[in-house]
Structures are given as C-alpha cells and as structure tokens.
Structure 1
Amino acid sequence: MANPATYRPAPGEIPTDPGVYRFRDEHGRIIYVGKAKNLRSRLNSYFANPATLLPKTHAMVHHAASVQWTIVGSELEALQLEYTWIKEFAPRYNLAFRDDKTYPYLAVSMSEKFPRVQVMRGERRKGTRYFGPYTAGAIRETMDTLLRVFPVRSCSVGVLRRAERSGRPCLLGYIDKCAAPCVGRISVEEHKDLAQDFCDFMGGEAKRFISTLEKKMAAAVAELDYEQAARLRDDIIALKKVFERNAVVLTEDTNADIFAVEQDELEAAVQVFYVRGGRIRGQRGWVVEKVEDATDAQLWEHLMQQVYGGEDAEQGAIPRQILVPELPTNHEELAQWLAGLRQGKVSIKVPQRGEKAALMDTVQANARQAMILHKSRRAGDLTTRSLALQELQEALELPMPLLRIECYDISHVQGTNVVASMVVVEDGLAKKSEYRKFAINGDAAIDDTASMYDVITRRFRNYLAEKELRAQAVGTSGEIAAGLERHDGGAGALVHAGGLALDVVADPGGEIDEMAAQTPKSKFAYPPNLVVVDGGVPQVNAASRALADLGITDVAVVGLAKRLEEVWVPESDFPVILPRSSEGLYLLQRIRDEAHRFAITFHRAKRGKAMTASILDTVPGLGAAKQKTLLAHFGSLKKVRAASLEELGQAKGIGPVLAQAIHNTVAAQEKEQPQAPAVNMTTGEILD
C-alpha cells in the first residue's frame, strides 16, 4: 500500500479556489473524484492523522498514488464537472449504489414499436417507464385490472411475431384485454397513445380519466345504450379500485420526492417516497457506502447528483419539491442545476411541521428498517468475501490486498477447437463486463502449457501496449503545454498535436491535465494482483514464464489442481495446502469453475460452427452471401459438384474466375475422397 506522505502536495501548492480533485492509483486509474469550495482546505483533510480517518477514507488514500485537481470558476461548475467525471470514469471509491430489487415494478416499454406492459425486476432499461414497487400479488391484480380499461399489449416478442405472421391475435386480443395492434385492429400511433394514457393514469392523472368515463356513461344512459353504460360503469369501478389503493396523504397539487436516511460510520440506507398528485406513487431504496468523513449535508448533495443525474433518470422524473432531513451543501447551486435538468423551478426544503413532516417520519422508519435488513443480510456475505481474500493473501504471502483476481482455463476436445477463457473477480465479486475469451491456433494449440503461455502473453502484451499509449498521450500533452492553440478562450482548450486531439483543462502550475486526454478506452483494464490458472505445475510455470518474458514481476501466479484441490506456486516442489473448510479455497474453486464454464461455452460455440463448415468455405473469394446465392441457384451442394464451368458461371454474381475456383476446389475434394467398395447386402462380401 502507498504511503500518502509520498504524494502529498507541498505546502502552499494547493490553491484555495473552488475546483474538482482526483485521486489516482499506481496505474493511473482514477479511484476517487470530489469537489471542494476550497481545494486546499479539503485536500489537506485527507493527509491528516490516519487514525482520525474513516476506514473507507483510510483505504482510499493508501490505495492512491497521486492526487490532481482542476480549478473552475464557481461551485456550480465544480458540481457539474464532478458529476460528469464520476459518470465517465466510475471511480471505485465514490458512492456506490446497490439498488433495492426485492420488489417488482410495473413497466411500460415506450421505446418499442408496440409498447408493452409487463412486470419487471432488476436494472432499469432506457426508454421504459416504471411504476411501483408493488408486492407480488398486488402488481398482478393492478395490471389485470388496468388492461380492461387500457388494453395495451402485454405479450412477449415471440407471441407478437407469431400473431403478426398468422394474422390472428392471442387470447388477450379475443377477450378485449389487448387492442391487438399486431393484426391491425388499431394503428401504431393509436396504440402508443393508449400506452401513454396508461402511463398518465399511473403517474397521477387518474381523476381525469375517471371523469371522462363518467361523462361517457351518462351520455350512453341518455341514449338508452345500457350495455355500453354498464361496460363503462365497470371500467370506472376498476379505475377507482386501483386509484384508491394509495391513501391521500397530501394536497392533490403536491408533487414531491421525500428522502430519509439511516446511517452508521460506513454505510447509509436511503429511502425515497415518490408523491404525485398528493399520493404515494412509488418507493425506492439504496444502500450507500460512505467513502469519506463527510457531513450529512455533503451526503445529501452527492445523493441528489446520483439520483437525478443518472442514466436511468427519466424525463420529467424531477418534481417541483425535494424534501430532505437536512439541506445539502450548496443547495442553491444544486437547485439551479436540477432546475436546468427539469426545465422548471425546483425547490429543496426541510419539512418542519404538518403532513409533510409526518410523512418524513414514515420514510425515516422505512430507512431504519432497510438498514437493519441490509446488515442482517450483509453479515455473512461481506464478511465471508473479506475473510476469503485475507486468507488467500496470508497463505500465499502476498504483500498487496487481492483487489483483482484473474483466472484462466483452456478448453478443447483432443486438441481441436482450442480456446481459453479469462474471468475477473474484483473485491470477491465477479466482474462479467471484463471477461475475455481467446481462440488459440497454430503452434500454441499443441498442448495446454503452450496454450497457457500464449494466452497470458497476449493478455499482458495488450496491457503493456495500452499502458504505452497512455504514457505517450501524457507525454504529448506535456510537450505541447507551452504552445496551446486555444479555441474557446477560457480555461479549457482543444489542442492538436500529431493528429491527437486532447481536451485539456488548466491545473495548478500551468500544466496540462492529462486525465481529460481522449485516449482509447482500455480493453484489458488493469493488471490483477493474482493470476489463477486451472492446472498444476506445468500450467503455473508456463504462465509465470510468460509474465517474466514480458518483464512483469508484480503479478502473483498460482494454479489450482483439480484432483486434490492443491494450490501450486511457481518454482515450488510442494503445493500450498489450504484447509478444506477454508473460505479462500472456496473462493478459488468458484473462480476456477466460472472460468471453466465460460471456456466450455465458447468451445461449444466454436465447435458447433466447425461442424457446420462446408467445402464452399475453402473457396477463395466465395463469401457467405455468394454461397447462399449459389446454393439457391443449384438447390444443393451435390448439384454444385455436378455442374460444369459454364453452368457455374450462369449463377448470379459468379464470374469466370470464381467459377473456375469453385470447380477446382470441388474437384480436388472428390479426388481426395476414397471410393467406398461395393458390398453384397445379403452376405456382406466385398465385391470387386
């Protein structure tokens, strides 16, 4: 771990202006982004006595290897720049949200051609409106009730396509719980309007729809159309049933989000109630990791940025009022920023008395309960992961914590279709976005050790190349710092050097902030602390040799042998034996099994493609499109083999040269194939 004193700025070097600061690790990765009204005062607090720092802050400053800052003109600019960089670089020590996915939501996929109403859990999708959460029973009843009034499509994609092909709607279309846009009963635009009405009703405009239906019912009665009046009456009852599920808690013109928090030294459980039209329209919860020793006011400021500035924030999701237990720092600038996003006035207030304060107490009780529930669930999970990582570090005698582990596995069938997998675990959790797969050919596919050497070499050679590109970009920015060609006349400039465009920001001392350099994003991320290979001594030595040949000495290598689950280290005659009940051994087994699963999946896909290969694939110049045209012309590969040069040339897109290549390839294959001997089917005797 780094000593903060080694990279602490010199006294007086940090300015007292407002700005944004970044902490980086030894690989140049941004691990924390923050803003400050006074940069000197804020940054000096990180280099105070380590005993006074919170555990998360202590871990961050010791993980970092450098700190940089950028001066801006105002606190509002700092707020906007901080948010932009947090979304761009996703620093691991900034507030990390773990969404409460316990309850289902009623979702309307407005981005589809035919919007679909469905019950959804998990991460939110762009272009989809969400309402809830509900209990499992209530959401089905609500959806079933509303579909009789708003018959929006609720079927899957497969059912929709089948109905479009057959020209017959599904069962819901026959019982009038779907408007059946798939068979043209209503147009695409009419169906979208119907879905929008569904969203408007769920968003708090229930009285408008109920009033409209009541007028239609009265008109039907006046015309003595009692059947239509009865149907409208049933629709009104259905809408009122859904509408009355939420009790009126505030005046009908109240649109507000009400927040509360329950916290300890390390984490905070946040709850929010969404009030629209005076009714509670939804509830959501988060658990936030507190990274630094911040006040409650600073915590609320960060939360506002995350909640209303995230990618899943919907259009119109910001209400007129945001009620919090304590005003965020710089709440005036924050309200101004939110007003720009909403395109309307936004007020941030602390309710003091009355109905809003009473509802705040209810939200606080929910936050308290969520914190209790989170701690009870977290006790086993987080403790187990931390224990496993600590056991591995101690057993392998490694100097650094195992923040990132990569595991590699080779998969093949008797030396054919050789592939490899790389799975990544960070902080004991799988990071599937950084999984990689490798196809292995040539001499590298001779055996497992050659394959392992090839894979490790390719992975870390890419890392070194990307590291060199970043270094060149930083070097270029430093060389051109004295001769900037400014296009905006302000603090920022667009610099052109050798074809590389750098969006730079002035930092202390007049240097160039290389963080903003628009360099290509890394494909292989950052090097792990530990490489795990599936195998014993040969595979471990091959991986270790590959790293040594590349000059990489700070990455540990171990192998997990399947037979006795022994942990092998390079150049050792004896394995490291972990107890069978060891959490560290369980973690290695889970990583190894995940790498094996990922490799097998890729191997099967590659083998499947190889099994469907055709002789036409070997014809030079004959691509997939022309193969399809050729087979469509002749009807089968057998007829292609029997065709003459003139007949081949008559196919669309097949010229004389390509026809000759096809004829030569097919004829060569027929000569190589041995002729099967004739056999007497009665006696089994081979005939001459």
Structure 2
Amino acid sequence: MATYLDWRPASGDIPTSPGVYRWLDANGRILYVGKAKNLRSRLANYFVALETLPERTRRLVTTARDVQWTVVRNEIEALQLEYTWIQEYSPPFNVRLKDDKSYPFMAVTLADEAPRVMVTRTAKIRGARYFGPYPKVWAVNETIDLMIKVMPIRTCNDSNYRRAMQSGKPCFASQIGKCGGPCSQQVSIAEHRERVNEFVHFMETYDRSIVEKLKRDMLAASEALQFEEAARLRDRVQAFEAVLEKSAVVLADNADADVYGLAHDELAASVQLFTVRRGRVRGVRGWVLDKELEVDDATLMTQILQDVYGAQAQHPAREIVVPQIPDEVDALASVLTQARGSNVRVHTAQRGAKAELLATANRNALEALKQYKLKRTADYVARTEALNDLREALELDEAPLRIECFDVSHLQGTGIVASMVVFEDGLPKKRDYRRFNISESTDDTDSIYQTLMRRLAYLRDDEEQSREQSTKFAYRPQLLLIDGGQPQVAAAQRALNESGVGSIAIAGIAKRLEELWLPDDDFPVILPRASEALFLIQRLRDEAHRFAITAQRASRRRDIRTQLEEVAGLGPARINALLKHFGSVTKLRAATAEEIAEVPGVGPNIAANIVHKLSRK
C-alpha cells in the first residue's frame, strides 16, 4: 500500500473558505459528506501518511477516488448544505441515527372541525399539536383515558364522527363513555372547541390552578349538599392529580429543554433524549447506532442534532442541553432558531438541576449501550458468525471455542496485576477468570511473559493437564488474545515457545481495535468494521481491562489494610472509617496528619503514626 494518495489535490488548489466536501468512489458514489470552516485545513488532515490515520478513516480515503468541495458564504450555509446532502445521498461513512422503533405521540388534530385526541407514530398530521414522545403506547392511552375524564373531547375516528353527525345518533365511543365530541350529541362544535383549547393548554402547561379551582367547586358543592356534583368534581380532581403525578417535575416551571445523554466506544454510540416541557419530563427516546468513522464527541453531537431536528422533524426546545458543545455551535443554534421561530440556546450544564438531569441522561445512555451489547452477545447466530469470522481472519484450523484474553494493570509500575478472562462459545465464563500478582517486572512485555509462563505451566502434557486443570483451569484454549501490539505479542510467543506447549494461536489487540497483530507479521489483520468478530474482540478486551483494574484496586486496598493493621490503636472499625472518609487509597496516602486526625476515633498520635507508616512505602 502506498504511503500517500497518488491522486490527492495540491494543497494550494484547496480554498481556505468555509464549505462542504464530498468523498466519492470510482463510480461517483458519495461516500462521506463533511463541513469545514477552512476547507484546506480540514482536508489536510486526510492527506497525511496513510499508516498514521485511524483504520476507518484510512478505509474511507483508500476507497475514494476523488474529493470535491463546494464553497459557501458562512458556517450556517455549510451546516445546512451538509445536512441536505446527507439526507439526499445517505453516505455510508456518515453517522445517522437509525432507531429500531418509532415512538408514540399524543396528537390533537386542531385543524379539524371537531378536533380529536389520538395516538400516532407519525409527526406529519396537518395542523396537529403533538405531546410526547412517550416510551410506550400504553403510556399515551393511559394519559388520554385520564384526561378525557376531566376534559371530555372527541376520540372517535373520522368515519364514525361523520356517521354520527349525519344520523344524529351518538358514536360508539360516546356510548361507552370514551368520546366527548359533538358526535356525542351533548355539546356543540363551539363548546367542544373551548374544551379542546383547555385540554391543549393543560397538556402544555400542567397548570395546577385548574385543580385548585375544581377543589374549591367541590367544597362548595358539598356545603350546598349537592353530593353527586361534589363526587363528580372529586373524580375529576383525582384524574388531574394522576396526570400530574405521572409527569415528574425536574426543572423550574418555565423550563423548556431537550436534554441529551451520550455514551459511545469505538464501535457504537448510544443517545438518550429527555424532552422537558414546563419543567416536566414529557418523553424519553433512545437510539443506538453503529459508528463507521471515529469522530469526537463534538462532531458526533452535531450530527445527532442535525438528524433529530432535520430528518426526524422534531420541534427544537428553547434550550438544548448537551454533554459536549457541538462543532460550530453558533451556526447550529442559528439554524435551530430558524426552525423554532424563536431563540434556541445550545449549551452544556455544569451544576444545578439541569446538570443532574444531564447526568441522568448520560447514565441512561450508558445503560442502553450495555444492554445493546448484551443483546448482541445473547444472539446465538451472531456468536457463531463471530467465531467463524475469527477463524477465517486468523487462518485457524477450527473456530476458537475457548478464548483467553490477558491484560496488565499497575499504578506507576507498582501493584502489578495481570488478568485472564475466558470466553467459551462467545460468552464470558467468569468462574474461569484468573488474576496473577506480579511482584517484580521491568515493563509490560515482561509482565505478559511472566503471566503466560505461569498460565501455560498447566498445559505441560495430557496427564498433568487432566489432573491439575480440574481445579485450576478448564480445557486448552484455541486462541490467546493479548491487550497490546507487536511487543506484547512477541513476549507472549516467546513464553509459548519456552513453555513446551504445543501450538496455540496468539493475537494482539491494538489500540485501534480493528487491528489484530500476529507473531512475526509486519502488517496487522484488519477485521471488517461491522463484523461480529470485531464486536466480540471488543467485548473480550473491555472485560479483560475491567477485571485487571478491579483486581489491581483490590490488591492495593488489601496492601494498605495490611500496613494499617500494624499501626498501634487501629482496628478494623477505624481502618474502615479511614478508607470510607478518604474514598481511595491514593487520597489516604497523600493526606496530612491533621487531615487524618479529623476522622472520628483517630487522634493526633495515631494520625502521626499512620503518616509515618505510609511514608515508608
């Protein structure tokens, strides 16, 4: 492979103006659309030595045969043109939100002669006022059922409405108490319109003054001995209260915000949107998308907002709270302001109620990403495909039914712990997880060598294997994965050679994840971006890293407990109080005697002895 693209344009030919650029393949198909404040500066990032580019970007530029650009006057025009072309051409390397489901809304058809309230999944009904989205259909139906008890408006479909108005007989929904429109023969069209306006006003504002007025009327009816009317008003109050309770207050009453949570890794991104109107969470939506190119949080956030308020036509809120300020935020805010018809502010939150809601959205996004991974892992077909893809990519004789992955964790060269996680048939087998404490090591390669020598000692020969593995390890692995590149793989291969164990496949997981390094190979094995094998490798790497970090922290905690137990006057209760007070071993080691003495039960003398003891390590 050549180091540079032989067809790249001369730097001086690329303008320094704002604009939109397009990468095209040999057939003229648009592969990627991007925008830039300075086209020359942005495109220069692509025309560098190919081996320095991330794998996905390298795949883009090597697939392309041409790059074209269009100059615009400002960043706002660049943003609009980029969005238009992404929607028109659907470039395969652009991030696009592909929800696996459509969300239900409550809609009030204000353009109709007699507006109706209904559940819908389309946002294109002419003249309709929408509320939501709701997480489930039953949540919309429940809200409608409660609301029509206190503000009865039309719920029947158009054909039933026309039939009832022509025949003079109430519609079926009205006969069972589910419709309060003119088709019930109880209200006029004008009276019904007033009810609809009240209905919409309450759903927009959640104004509690309506409830307070109903309570006053109920008391007045009771005092006048009109008990049936009082009971009817009581039922309406209870229905209103139920609607209010189901919409949690999270911000000030006048708050109108869309709050985004984001969690992503090398392969996928999870987005959560909390829709807040009048201080209440009115809807929650979520997406998980596969990432084709490695993009930073700011770029990813820009593309998400473009898709939500462009392709999905969602009406932007007055405030859009995001975990990361998007690229060209001022231009993006101007575009959203035009779509809303009034000022839109795009910002992040550092403190207060909005920051708390943002943190909640981020936690939900992280949980959704975890659930997405677990769902893919549980798919038997996907696991089988992943193992077969690995077999082909690594040229193995059989699919690696047992894979052991190793990682090393330490704190500035101390407290070295290596982890071994095991996947069988594509699933974690936690009872076979092992950790290896390493007392002395020169570097990570030496740690890997020591770890593999200790692990492979249990595979010396068949007789010893059957006797010792029953308590230490399960059967022989088909693949050993090392978290690292060529140096770590070489150390693992050296351990395998010196152990006297027969041939076992070894591969190293490079930081870019798509690259698997094999012993003595000058070039890595590249896994397809969307392959199940790559997803499995990522899970193995992440699990090994998590287990190593957990084991290393536990080792440090046990180590400091041993030291503290040697201090006169310190028992288990005071040691627990110390660790709880400082929260981490690092903070305790860095604390002064005065800070330690503030812990209940620890006086100045004991604090001085603790500092002396810990400073000797």
CA distance change for structure 1 residues 199 and 134 in 2, over 3 Å: closer, same or farther? farther
Structure 2 CA distance for partners of 1:126 and 1:376, relative to 1, 3 Å: farther
Cα distance change, pair 383–214 in 1 and its aligned pair in 2 (3 A) = same
Match of 1:331 among 329, 332, 342: 329
Gaps in structure 1 of 5+ consecutive residues: 395-582, 584-688
Question: Secondary structure of 2:205's match?
Answer: coil
Mean CA deviation greater in 31-40 or 7-16: 7-16
1:53-74 per-residue CA deviation (whole Å, 9 max, x = no partner) reads 4454444434433221111122
Q: 1:359 to 1:64 in 2, by over 3 A?
A: same
Q: Deviations over 1:29-48 (max 9, x none)?
A: 33322100111122232344
Closer, same or farther in 2 for the Cα pair 1:292/1:184, shift >3 Å?
Answer: same
- How far, CA to CA, are the matches of 1:101 and 1:219 in structure 2? 49
Alignment of 1:169-568 (within 5 A): 169-182=170-183, 185-186=186-187, 191=192, 194-214=195-215, 217=218, 226-313=227-314, 317-379=315-377
Tell me if the contact between 1:23 and 1:32 (Cα under 8 Å) persists in the aligned partners.
yes
Deviation digits for residues 236-272 of structure 1, max 9, x if unmatched?
A: 2211111012332222222211111000113210111
Q: How does 1:6-17 map to 2 (within 5 A)?
A: 7-17=7-17
Given that 2:221 and 2:227 are in contact with CA atoms closer than 8 Å, whether structure 1 keeps it comes out as yes
CA distance in 1, matches of 2:338, 2:292: 28
Counterpart CA distance in 2 for 1:93 and 1:382 is 28
RMSD after superposition: 3.7
Structure 1 partner of 2:43: 43
Q: Is the 8 A contact 1:324 1:348 kept in 2?
A: yes
1:61 aligns to 2:44 (yes or no): no
Asked if the contact 1:113/1:188 (under 8 Å) is kept, the reply is yes
Instruction: Measure, in 1, the Cα distance between the counterparts of 2:149 and 2:356.
Output: 36
| Whole-angstrom CA distance in 2 between matches of 1:265 and 1:281 | 32
Pairs within 5 Å for 1:572-591: none
2 CA distance for matches of 1:270 and 1:51? 32
Q: Distance in 1 between matches of 2:151 and 2:50?
A: 61
- Assess, with a 3 A threshold, how the Cα gap between structure 1 residues 302 and 165 changes in structure 2: closer, same or farther: same
Offset of residue 76 of structure 1: 2.1
User: In the alignment, which residue of structure 2 is the partner of 1:29?
Assistant: 29
Provide the secondary structure at the position in 1 that maps to 2:134. coil
Residues 20 and 69, structure 2, Cα contact 8 Å, conserved in 1: yes
Following superposition, the deviation at residue 211 of structure 1 comes to 4.4
Measured after TM superposition, the shift of residue 326 of structure 1 is 1.7
Counterpart residue identity of residue 28, structure 2: G
Aligned to 1:154: 155
Letter paired with 1:363: A
Q: Letter of the aligned partner of 2:91 in structure 1? A: P
Find the aligned partners of 2:347 and 2:310 in 1 and give their Cα distance: 19
Q: Which amino acid aligns with 1:66?
A: D
Distance in 2 (alpha carbons) for counterparts of 1:96 and 1:206: 38
1:387–1:18: structure 2 CA closer, same or farther, 3 Å change rule? farther
- Cα deviation, 1:207-257, whole Å, max 9, x if unaligned, reads 254345456556766877554443233212211111012332222222211
The equivalences for 1:600-611 within 5 A come to none
C-alpha change, 1:130 and 1:375, in structure 2 (3 Å) is farther
| In structure 2, C-alpha distance between the alignment counterparts of 1:68 and 1:219, rounded to whole Å | 75
What is the SS of the residue equivalent to 1:368? helix
Structure 1: distance between partners of 2:197 and 2:84: 32
Q: Distance in 2 between matches of 1:196 and 1:3?
A: 67
Distance 1:188 1:258, change over 3 A: same
The question of whether the paired residues in 1 share the 8 Å contact of 2:256 and 2:317 is answered with yes
C-alpha separation between the residues in 2 aligned to 1:2 and 1:98?
36
Deviation of residue 89 (structure 1)? 3.4
The answer as to whether partners of 2:376 and 2:382 remain within 8 angstroms in 1 is no
Tell me the equivalent position of 1:590: none
Query: Residue 592 of structure 1 aligns with which residue?
Result: none
**Distance in 1 between residues matched to 2:52 and 2:261, nearest whole Å:** 27
Tell me if structure 1 keeps the 8 A contact 2:94–2:292.
yes
3-state SS in 2 of match to 1:32: strand
TM-score by length of 2: 0.55
In structure 1, C-alpha distance between the alignment counterparts of 2:382 and 2:158, rounded to whole Å: 41
Give per-residue Cα distances to partners, 1:69-91, cap 9 Å, x unaligned. 11112222212222233333333
Q: CA, structure 1 residues 137+336, in 2 after alignment: closer, same or farther (shift >3 Å)? A: closer
The residue type paired with residue 356 of structure 2 is: A
CA distances 1:428-480 after superposition (whole Å, capped 9, x unpaired): xxxxxxxxxxxxxxxxxxxxxxxxxxxxxxxxxxxxxxxxxxxxxxxxxxxxx
Partners of 2:381 and 2:108 in 1: CA distance: 39
When the two structures are superposed, what TM-score results if normalisation uses the length of structure 1?
A: 0.50
Shift of 1:299: 1.6
Q: 1:329: Cα distance to partner?
A: 1.9
CA–CA distance in structure 1, aligned partners of residues 199 and 374 of structure 2: 39
Q: Describe the shift of the 1:337–1:223 C-alpha distance in structure 2 as closer, same or farther (beyond 3 A).
A: farther
Structure 1 residues 169 and 31: CA distance shift in structure 2, 3 A: farther
Distance (whole Å) between structure 2 residues aligned to residue 6 and residue 166 of structure 1: 78
Contact 2:103–2:134 at 8 Å: present in 1 too? yes
Q: Which amino acid aligns with 1:287?
A: V
Letter in 1 for 2:355: A
Shift of 1:289: 3.6
CA distance in 2: counterparts of 1:134 and 1:333, whole angstroms: 31
User: Does the 8 Å CA contact 2:261/2:272 hold for their aligned counterparts?
Assistant: yes
Give the aligned residue type for 2:142.
Answer: E
Unaligned runs of 5+ in 2: 393-531, 533-617
> Does the 8 Å CA contact 1:3/1:62 hold for their aligned counterparts?
no
Give the drift of 1:152. Answer: 2.9
The 3 A distance-change label for structure 1 pair 343 and 37 is same
Distance 2:218 2:3 in 1: 77
Q: 2:87: which partner in 1?
A: 87
Count the aligned residue pairs: 388
